[in-house]
Amino acid sequence: MSYPTRKEPVNQPAPTANEHPPIVPQVIADLQTRMQLGIQRYGVALQPANGRDMLVDAYEEAQDLAVYLKGAIETERLRHQHVDELVNAASEAVGAFLTGELPPYGFNRLHDAIAAVQRFNAAPTPATT
């Protein structure tokens, strides 16, 4: 999958039904959990006119969201790039082996591509609950 880096809108197909649970009930459950956390932390649920500037809070949260989204997009782009490099190196190695044109360095490019994927996959990831 390629992620857009252009400023034009991206045409996407209509969503199709599948076996996965719908998202909205999950978001509702997350919001309820988040509200309970806020009550535990601050002694009160978030309410209007609470003394804070909610527009500033929301804007700062939106900036954080943009950074996290871009980070996730770049992570996926890099993952796909490493997999593409691995597939290309494997194709070249198999082709060279089958035609008897295996260069003196043998499978070095394939080995390097596998190592790159392994390093990427070994990078620390946040714990999931």
Q: Using an 8 Å Cβ cutoff, are 120 and 79 in contact?
A: yes
Instruction: Answer whether 0.85 is exceeded by the pTM.
Output: no
- State the SS3 of 18-70: CCCCCHHHHHHHHHHHHHHHHHHHHCCCCCCCCCCCHHHHHHHHHHHHHHHHH
pLDDT of residue 49: 94
- Distance in angstroms between the alpha carbons of the first and the last residue of the chain: 27
Question: pLDDT tens string for the chain (129 positions)?
Answer: 555 555 667 788 899 999 999 999 999 999 999 999 999 999 999 999 999 999 999 999 999 999 999 999 999 998 888 888 888 888 887 887 778 777 666 677 777 778 877 887 777 766 544
Instruction: Phi first, then psi: give them for residue 111, nearest 5 degrees.
Output: -60, -45
Backbone angles phi, psi at 125, to 5 degrees: -125, 155
Residue 101: the pLDDT is: 79
Tokens of 54: 């909610």
